[in-house]
Amino acid sequence: MHHTRATAGGFLIAQFLRQLIRQFMRLLSDRRRQARGQGNRNCD
pTM over 0.75: no
Residues 1, 21: Cα–Cα separation, whole Å: 26
Using a CB cutoff of 8 Å and minimum separation of 24, what contacts does 35-44 make?
A: none
Q: What is the pLDDT of residue 18?
A: 97
Q: What is the pLDDT of residue 25?
A: 96
* pLDDT digit string, tens, across residues 1-44: 566 677 888 999 999 999 999 999 999 999 988 887 765 555 55
Residues 35, 29: Cα–Cα separation, whole Å: 10
